[in-house]
Amino acid sequence: MKIGILGTGVVGQTLGEKLVSRGHEVRLGSRSGSGGSGAEWTAKVGAKGSLGTFADAAAFGELLFLCTKGEVALEVVRLAGAEALGAKVLIDVSNPLDFSRGFPPALTIQGFDSLGERIQAAAPNARVVKALNTVAAPVMIDPAKVPGEHDLFLCGNDDAAKGEVKALLADAFGWKNFVDVGGIEASRGTEALLPLWTRLYGRFGSPLFNFHIARSE
Ligand SMILES: NC(=O)c1ccc[n+]([C@@H]2O[C@H](COP(=O)([O-])OP(=O)(O)OC[C@H]3O[C@@H](n4cnc5c(N)ncnc54)[C@H](OP(=O)(O)O)[C@@H]3O)[C@@H](O)[C@H]2O)c1
């Protein structure tokens, strides 16, 4: 499958490298569309990986990931362009974090609102699925790095899109346990895990952990 990844940070590069290794064609998107860490990434992953602008990556992918800094995610959606985004599945991995007072960060969007909802509103035809934002990049692509049962939360308004995302994340990365939290407004809940996640990271000194929901049927 052709996959566009908006973002050349740790997340974009980690997801992209794994997807290429699984046989997908991946284009990373950045502001300039050339140079920088994205160029180093293309040199590393070989012919199935390429680099372009955010608009190039959005146009290239049949399915898209959004993994930029939360504070610029809406601007990146605008740069990608409504036409390129179309009605594609857009997996939103970003978190609305404010590091201005250091670590741990606070949420920049909370209460009766979330970044996931704002992204869906900014790209109304795209089928936004919020997923992977509650685990660290090494766990995103290899959940077995965390032993035992643990869960991946996802949410979005389009059930078929959530089904496509589950299938891809299971096939490419090995995810087994998904917890569908509901429509995109459930991003209010999954993004709100980050103040807890970052504190646990501070306590454990390692990002190799995850949440597990235990419940009676
Ligand atoms: N790191 C993790 O393990 C992890 C885990 C879960 C969720 N997340 C979330 O995933 C997202 C990506 O995290 P990351 O650490 O990989 O990368 P990041 O450093 O948060 O973001 C890098 C991307 O942001 C873009 N960017 C920065 N300033 C910009 C601006 N002014 N305008 C447009 N684009 C701009 C960069 O563009 P250029 O390519 O042009 O430089 C780059 O593509 C974040 O929202 C983070 O909260 C991260």
- With vertex at residue 186, the alpha carbon angle to CA 188 and CA 211, rounded to the nearest 5 degrees, is 85
In the structure encoding, which two tokens stand for residue 140, read together? 């995103």
Amino acid at 176: K
pTM of the model: 0.98
Distance 22 CA to ligand 1 centre (A): 23
Q: What pLDDT sits at residue 126?
A: 98
With the most atoms of ligand 1 within 8 angstroms of its CB, the residue from 13, 65, 69, 209 to mutate is 69
Q: Is the pLDDT reported for residue 46 higher than 90?
A: yes
Tell me the mean pLDDT in the region 102-109.
98
In the structure encoding, which two tokens stand for residue 100, read together? 């201005």
CB 53 within 8 A of CB 79: yes
Amino acid at 79: L
Minimal-distance CA residue to ligand 1 atom 35: 72
Q: Mind listing the pLDDT tens digit for each residue in 119-143?
A: 999 999 999 999 999 999 999 999 9
What is the C-alpha separation between 47 and 112, in angstroms, rounded? 44
In the structure encoding, which two tokens stand for residue 123, read together? 């790209």
With cut-offs at 50, 70 and 90, classify the pLDDT of residue 217: confident
What b/e readout covers 180-214, taking b as 16+ CB neighbours within 10 angstroms? Answer: bbeebbbbbebbeebeebbeebeeeeebebbbeee
Q: Say which residue the tokens 């090995």 belong to.
A: 174
Pairing of strands 106-107, 97-98: antiparallel
Q: Say which residue the tokens 């490298």 belong to.
A: 17
Q: What pLDDT sits at residue 176?
A: 97
In sign, the C-alpha dihedral spanning 123, 135, 156, 18 is: positive
Q: Mind listing the pLDDT tens digit for each residue in 147-197?
A: 999 999 999 999 999 999 999 999 999 999 999 999 999 999 999 999 999
**113 phi and psi angles, rounded to 5 deg:** -160, 165
Pocket of ligand 1 (CB under 6 A): 7-12, 30-32, 38, 67-70, 72, 75-76, 93-95, 97, 133, 136-137
Q: Taking the CB of residue 62, how many other CB atoms lie within 10 A of it?
A: 13
Q: Taking the CB of residue 122, how many other CB atoms lie within 10 A of it?
A: 18
Q: Is the pLDDT reported for residue 203 higher than 90?
A: yes
Q: Taking the CB of residue 105, how many other CB atoms lie within 10 A of it?
A: 17
Q: Mind listing the pLDDT tens digit for each residue in 9-28?
A: 999 999 999 999 999 999 99
- CB within 8 Å of 199: residues ≥ 6 apart: 104
Amino acid at 18: K
Tell me the mean pLDDT in the region 81-107.
98
With CA atoms as reference, report the closest residue to 139 among 73, 208, 76.
208
